[in-house]
Amino acid sequence: MNPSPSRSYLLNKMPKTKRCTECESIESAKFRSLSGEKWRDAEDKGLVKQTWEEGIILCNTCYMQFIENPLRRGVKRVKIINEEEVSTKIERAP
């Protein structure tokens, strides 16, 4: 009779499951680490969230949405509209 390996031995030998820091997904085909030059670029552009730290793991979708695409396009500028021009009076027909 062969002795079966202990549970802790099996858990240590199993590959670590990667998890996205942002959406907590474990089912992405590709995970990316946000570190080094990309981390500095994201910090400079104000893309880093307060809960993030250098070296976090993001799934490909979150990485593209929060880091790569904004870095390529630049930061979106919000157009401020004068509220007086926008407000309209709606009258009901009798």
pTM score, whole prediction = 0.57
pLDDT, tens digit, 9 for 90 and up, residues 30-39? 898 888 898 9
44, 38, 62, 55: CA torsion to nearest 10: -110
pLDDT reported for residue 2: 55
The answer, yes or no, to whether residue 6 has pLDDT greater than 70, is no
Question: Can you tell me the distance from the alpha carbon of 40 to that of 43, in angstroms, rounded to the nearest whole number?
Answer: 5
Q: Of residues 15 and 56, which shows the higher confidence score?
A: 56
pLDDT, tens digit, 9 for 90 and up, residues 34-60? 888 989 988 888 888 888 889 999 998
Task: Say if residues 60 and 33 touch (Cβ distance below 8 Å).
Answer: no
What are the extents of the domains in the chain?
Answer: 17-85
